[in-house]
Protein backbone atom coordinates (compact mmCIF):
# COMPACT_ATOMS: atom_id res chain seq x y z
CA UNK A 1 0.00 0.00 0.00
CA UNK A 2 1.23 3.49 -0.86
CA UNK A 3 2.54 5.54 2.04
CA UNK A 4 1.78 8.79 0.25
CA UNK A 5 -0.81 11.01 2.01
CA UNK A 6 -4.34 10.29 0.86
CA UNK A 7 -4.78 13.71 -0.78
CA UNK A 8 -1.74 13.04 -2.96
CA UNK A 9 -3.09 9.61 -3.88
CA UNK A 10 -6.44 11.17 -4.83
CA UNK A 11 -4.67 13.56 -7.18
CA UNK A 12 -2.55 10.79 -8.66
CA UNK A 13 -5.46 8.45 -9.31
CA UNK A 14 -7.90 11.23 -10.23
CA UNK A 15 -10.43 9.78 -7.82
CA UNK A 16 -11.77 11.53 -4.77
CA UNK A 17 -12.29 15.00 -3.36
CA UNK A 18 -8.85 16.32 -2.41
CA UNK A 19 -7.69 19.53 -0.74
CA UNK A 20 -4.01 20.43 -0.80
CA UNK A 21 -2.47 23.29 1.18
CA UNK A 22 -5.68 25.29 1.60
CA UNK A 23 -5.61 28.75 3.17
CA UNK A 24 -8.95 30.59 3.41
CA UNK A 25 -10.90 33.00 5.55
CA UNK A 26 -12.91 36.19 5.60
CA UNK A 27 -11.36 39.26 4.00
CA UNK A 28 -7.91 39.82 5.51
CA UNK A 29 -8.53 37.27 8.30
CA UNK A 30 -7.15 33.81 7.55
CA UNK A 31 -9.10 31.07 9.35
CA UNK A 32 -7.93 27.93 7.51
CA UNK A 33 -4.19 27.31 7.63
CA UNK A 34 -2.52 24.88 5.23
CA UNK A 35 -5.21 22.18 5.33
CA UNK A 36 -4.84 19.05 3.20
CA UNK A 37 -7.39 16.26 3.37
CA UNK A 38 -9.34 13.95 1.12
CA UNK A 39 -12.30 11.64 0.91
CA UNK A 40 -12.31 8.76 -1.53
CA UNK A 41 -15.40 7.71 -3.52
CA UNK A 42 -17.97 5.97 -1.34
CA UNK A 43 -16.21 6.89 1.91
CA UNK A 44 -17.35 9.11 4.79
CA UNK A 45 -15.07 11.54 6.60
CA UNK A 46 -15.99 13.01 10.01
CA UNK A 47 -14.63 16.51 10.58
CA UNK A 48 -14.45 17.20 14.32
CA UNK A 49 -13.41 20.01 16.63
CA UNK A 50 -14.70 22.61 19.07
CA UNK A 51 -16.81 25.51 17.90
CA UNK A 52 -14.76 28.21 16.20
CA UNK A 53 -11.97 25.91 15.02
CA UNK A 54 -12.70 26.41 11.30
CA UNK A 55 -14.87 23.41 10.39
CA UNK A 56 -17.74 25.40 8.88
CA UNK A 57 -15.31 27.75 7.16
CA UNK A 58 -13.59 24.75 5.57
CA UNK A 59 -16.87 23.30 4.27
CA UNK A 60 -17.90 26.69 2.91
CA UNK A 61 -14.54 26.89 1.14
CA UNK A 62 -14.95 23.45 -0.42
CA UNK A 63 -18.48 24.39 -1.54
CA UNK A 64 -17.23 27.61 -3.14
CA UNK A 65 -18.96 29.97 -0.71
CA UNK A 66 -15.54 31.30 0.30
CA UNK A 67 -12.45 31.79 -1.86
CA UNK A 68 -9.05 30.29 -1.14
CA UNK A 69 -5.99 32.48 -0.78
CA UNK A 70 -3.70 29.51 -1.49
CA UNK A 71 -3.93 25.81 -2.24
CA UNK A 72 -6.09 23.70 -4.54
CA UNK A 73 -9.31 21.67 -4.50
CA UNK A 74 -9.70 18.78 -6.92
CA UNK A 75 -12.82 16.72 -7.61
CA UNK A 76 -12.09 13.39 -9.30
CA UNK A 77 -8.96 14.88 -10.81
CA UNK A 78 -10.55 18.16 -11.93
CA UNK A 79 -9.31 21.39 -10.39
CA UNK A 80 -12.42 23.18 -9.08
CA UNK A 81 -10.61 25.79 -6.97
CA UNK A 82 -11.83 28.71 -9.08
CA UNK A 83 -15.33 27.41 -9.84
CA UNK A 84 -18.48 29.13 -8.60
CA UNK A 85 -20.77 27.20 -6.20
CA UNK A 86 -23.25 26.42 -8.99
CA UNK A 87 -20.49 25.00 -11.18
CA UNK A 88 -19.23 22.85 -8.30
CA UNK A 89 -22.77 21.53 -7.88
CA UNK A 90 -22.90 20.60 -11.56
CA UNK A 91 -19.47 18.96 -11.17
CA UNK A 92 -20.87 16.59 -8.53
CA UNK A 93 -20.57 18.41 -5.19
CA UNK A 94 -23.57 18.83 -2.87
CA UNK A 95 -23.70 21.08 0.22
CA UNK A 96 -26.11 21.08 3.17
CA UNK A 97 -25.32 24.25 5.17
CA UNK A 98 -25.76 24.55 8.90
CA UNK A 99 -28.56 27.09 8.38
CA UNK A 100 -30.40 24.63 6.06
CA UNK A 101 -31.48 27.54 3.80
CA UNK A 102 -34.65 25.89 2.52
CA UNK A 103 -37.17 28.07 0.73
CA UNK A 104 -39.66 28.69 3.53
CA UNK A 105 -42.25 30.25 1.18
CA UNK A 106 -42.29 27.17 -1.10
CA UNK A 107 -43.82 23.75 -0.48
CA UNK A 108 -41.71 20.68 0.15
CA UNK A 109 -42.39 19.48 -3.39
CA UNK A 110 -41.48 22.87 -4.88
CA UNK A 111 -38.24 22.97 -2.86
CA UNK A 112 -37.26 19.63 -4.38
CA UNK A 113 -38.34 20.34 -7.94
CA UNK A 114 -36.51 23.66 -8.09
CA UNK A 115 -33.25 21.83 -7.27
CA UNK A 116 -33.75 18.97 -9.75
CA UNK A 117 -30.86 18.86 -12.24
CA UNK A 118 -32.37 15.92 -14.10
CA UNK A 119 -29.48 13.58 -13.35
CA UNK A 120 -31.37 10.54 -12.16
CA UNK A 121 -32.11 11.40 -8.54
CA UNK A 122 -35.86 11.99 -8.45
CA UNK A 123 -38.39 13.43 -6.02
CA UNK A 124 -39.54 9.85 -5.49
CA UNK A 125 -36.02 8.86 -4.40
CA UNK A 126 -36.08 11.67 -1.82
CA UNK A 127 -39.47 10.57 -0.53
CA UNK A 128 -38.24 6.99 -0.27
CA UNK A 129 -35.29 8.16 1.82
CA UNK A 130 -37.46 10.49 3.91
CA UNK A 131 -41.07 9.16 3.96
CA UNK A 132 -42.06 11.95 6.34
CA UNK A 133 -41.44 14.50 3.57
CA UNK A 134 -43.89 12.71 1.30
CA UNK A 135 -46.59 13.12 3.92
CA UNK A 136 -45.71 16.82 4.14
CA UNK A 137 -45.15 17.42 0.42
CA UNK A 138 -47.84 20.14 0.18
CA UNK A 139 -46.73 21.96 3.33
CA UNK A 140 -44.70 25.16 3.14
CA UNK A 141 -41.11 25.07 4.34
CA UNK A 142 -42.08 27.41 7.17
CA UNK A 143 -44.60 24.82 8.43
CA UNK A 144 -42.02 22.08 8.94
CA UNK A 145 -40.39 21.10 12.21
CA UNK A 146 -36.64 21.53 12.61
CA UNK A 147 -36.07 17.86 11.88
CA UNK A 148 -38.26 17.97 8.77
CA UNK A 149 -36.43 21.07 7.55
CA UNK A 150 -33.13 19.21 7.91
CA UNK A 151 -34.54 16.26 5.97
CA UNK A 152 -35.66 18.67 3.25
CA UNK A 153 -32.25 20.38 3.15
CA UNK A 154 -30.53 17.02 2.62
CA UNK A 155 -33.13 15.84 0.10
CA UNK A 156 -32.79 19.08 -1.85
CA UNK A 157 -29.00 18.70 -2.05
CA UNK A 158 -29.48 15.17 -3.36
CA UNK A 159 -31.63 16.42 -6.25
CA UNK A 160 -28.39 17.36 -8.00
CA UNK A 161 -27.26 13.70 -7.79
CA UNK A 162 -23.93 14.61 -6.13
CA UNK A 163 -21.06 12.15 -5.88
CA UNK A 164 -19.73 14.02 -2.84
CA UNK A 165 -21.93 15.54 -0.14
CA UNK A 166 -20.89 18.09 2.49
CA UNK A 167 -23.04 18.23 5.63
CA UNK A 168 -22.57 20.96 8.24
CA UNK A 169 -23.97 20.02 11.68
CA UNK A 170 -26.87 17.90 10.35
CA UNK A 171 -27.96 16.86 13.87
CA UNK A 172 -27.72 20.28 15.55
CA UNK A 173 -30.60 21.11 17.88
CA UNK A 174 -32.60 17.98 17.03
CA UNK A 175 -34.29 15.49 19.35
CA UNK A 176 -32.59 12.10 19.78
CA UNK A 177 -35.33 10.27 17.84
CA UNK A 178 -34.86 12.63 14.87
CA UNK A 179 -31.08 12.23 15.04
CA UNK A 180 -31.60 8.47 14.90
CA UNK A 181 -33.84 8.83 11.83
CA UNK A 182 -31.37 11.12 10.06
CA UNK A 183 -28.32 8.99 10.84
CA UNK A 184 -30.22 5.96 9.57
CA UNK A 185 -31.05 7.78 6.34
CA UNK A 186 -27.41 8.80 5.85
CA UNK A 187 -26.29 5.22 6.47
CA UNK A 188 -28.79 4.03 3.85
CA UNK A 189 -27.58 6.70 1.45
CA UNK A 190 -23.97 5.60 1.91
CA UNK A 191 -24.76 1.90 1.60
CA UNK A 192 -27.09 2.07 -1.41
CA UNK A 193 -25.72 4.96 -3.49
CA UNK A 194 -21.99 5.12 -2.77
CA UNK A 195 -22.11 8.88 -2.23
CA UNK A 196 -19.03 10.08 -0.37
CA UNK A 197 -19.57 12.49 2.52
CA UNK A 198 -17.75 14.96 4.70
CA UNK A 199 -19.73 15.54 7.89
CA UNK A 200 -19.09 18.28 10.43
CA UNK A 201 -20.79 17.28 13.66
CA UNK A 202 -20.62 17.94 17.41
CA UNK A 203 -22.00 14.46 18.16
CA UNK A 204 -18.48 13.17 17.67
CA UNK A 205 -18.80 9.57 18.82
CA UNK A 206 -22.00 9.08 16.84
CA UNK A 207 -20.52 10.34 13.60
CA UNK A 208 -17.28 8.38 14.10
CA UNK A 209 -19.28 5.17 14.44
CA UNK A 210 -20.85 5.99 11.06
CA UNK A 211 -17.79 7.36 9.25
CA UNK A 212 -14.75 5.59 7.81
CA UNK A 213 -12.15 8.21 8.72
CA UNK A 214 -11.94 11.28 10.92
CA UNK A 215 -10.00 14.53 11.11
CA UNK A 216 -9.80 16.80 14.16
CA UNK A 217 -9.41 20.55 13.68
CA UNK A 218 -7.80 23.02 16.07
CA UNK A 219 -7.27 26.72 15.29
CA UNK A 220 -7.87 26.24 11.56
CA UNK A 221 -5.57 23.27 11.05
CA UNK A 222 -5.68 19.48 11.24
CA UNK A 223 -4.19 18.16 14.50
CA UNK A 224 -5.35 14.52 14.40
CA UNK A 225 -6.42 12.15 11.66
CA UNK A 226 -7.00 8.47 11.28
CA UNK A 227 -9.53 5.71 10.85
CA UNK A 228 -12.72 6.08 12.85
CA UNK A 229 -11.87 3.00 14.87
CA UNK A 230 -8.40 4.39 15.57
CA UNK A 231 -9.79 7.72 16.76
CA UNK A 232 -12.35 5.96 18.96
CA UNK A 233 -9.53 3.90 20.47
CA UNK A 234 -7.70 7.18 21.18
CA UNK A 235 -10.86 8.82 22.48
CA UNK A 236 -9.25 10.54 25.48
CA UNK A 237 -6.90 12.41 23.15
CA UNK A 238 -9.71 13.28 20.72
CA UNK A 239 -11.96 14.44 23.54
CA UNK A 240 -9.26 16.81 24.79
CA UNK A 241 -9.56 18.72 21.50
CA UNK A 242 -13.38 18.72 21.68
CA UNK A 243 -13.77 19.96 25.26
CA UNK A 244 -14.58 23.71 25.54
CA UNK A 245 -11.78 25.77 27.02
Band (pLDDT 50/70/90 cuts) for residue 235 is very high
Helix (H, G, I), strand (E, B) or coil at 221: strand
At residue 193, the pLDDT reads 92
At residue 13, the pLDDT reads 53
At residue 15, the pLDDT reads 87
Band (pLDDT 50/70/90 cuts) for residue 2 is very low
pLDDT digits (tens, 9 = 90+) for 7-38: 555 554 568 999 999 999 998 999 999 999 99
Q: Angle at the Cα of 92 (from 21 to 151), degrees rounded to 5?
A: 105
Residue 164 host element (H or E): strand 164-168
Residue 71 host element (H or E): strand 68-75
Other CB atoms within a 10 A radius of the CB of residue 113 amount to 13
pLDDT digits (tens, 9 = 90+) for 38-63: 999 999 999 999 999 999 999 999 99
Q: With CA atoms as reference, report the closest residue to 80 among 4, 13, 16, 169.
A: 16
User: In a 10 Å sphere around its CB, with 0-12 CB exposed, 13-18 middle and 19+ buried, how is residue 122 labelled?
Assistant: middle
User: Residues 168-177: what's their mean pLDDT?
Assistant: 95
* DSSP string covering 20-58: EEEEEEETTEEEEEEEEEEE-TT-EEEEE--TTSSHHHH
Phi, psi (deg, nearest 5) at residue 226: 165, -175
Mean pLDDT in the chain? 93
User: Residues 177-197: what's their mean pLDDT?
Assistant: 94
pLDDT digits (tens, 9 = 90+) for 70-127: 999 999 999 999 999 999 999 999 999 999 999 999 999 999 999 998 898 999 999 9
Q: Residue 198 carries which DSSP code? A: E
Quote the CA–CA distance of 165 and 129 in Å, as a whole number.
15
Q: With CA atoms as reference, report the closest residue to 97 among 147, 63, 48, 143.
A: 63
Q: Residue 195 carries which DSSP code? A: -
Band (pLDDT 50/70/90 cuts) for residue 4 is low
Residue 77 and residue 9 in contact, taking contact as beta carbons nearer than 8 Å: no
Q: With CA atoms as reference, report the closest residue to 102 among 92, 114, 117, 90.
A: 114
pTM for the complete prediction? 0.93
Query: Which residue segments constitute the domains of the chain, with CATH numbers given?
Result: 6-92+164-242 (3.40.50.300), 104-161 (no CATH)
Amino acid sequence: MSRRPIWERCTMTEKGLALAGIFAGYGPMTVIHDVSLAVLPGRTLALLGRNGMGKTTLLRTIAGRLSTSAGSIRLDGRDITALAPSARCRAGLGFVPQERQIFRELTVLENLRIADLGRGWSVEHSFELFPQLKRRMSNMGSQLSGGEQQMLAIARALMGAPRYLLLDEPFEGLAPIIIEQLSGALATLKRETGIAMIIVEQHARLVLEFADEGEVMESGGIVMRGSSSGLLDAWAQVEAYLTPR
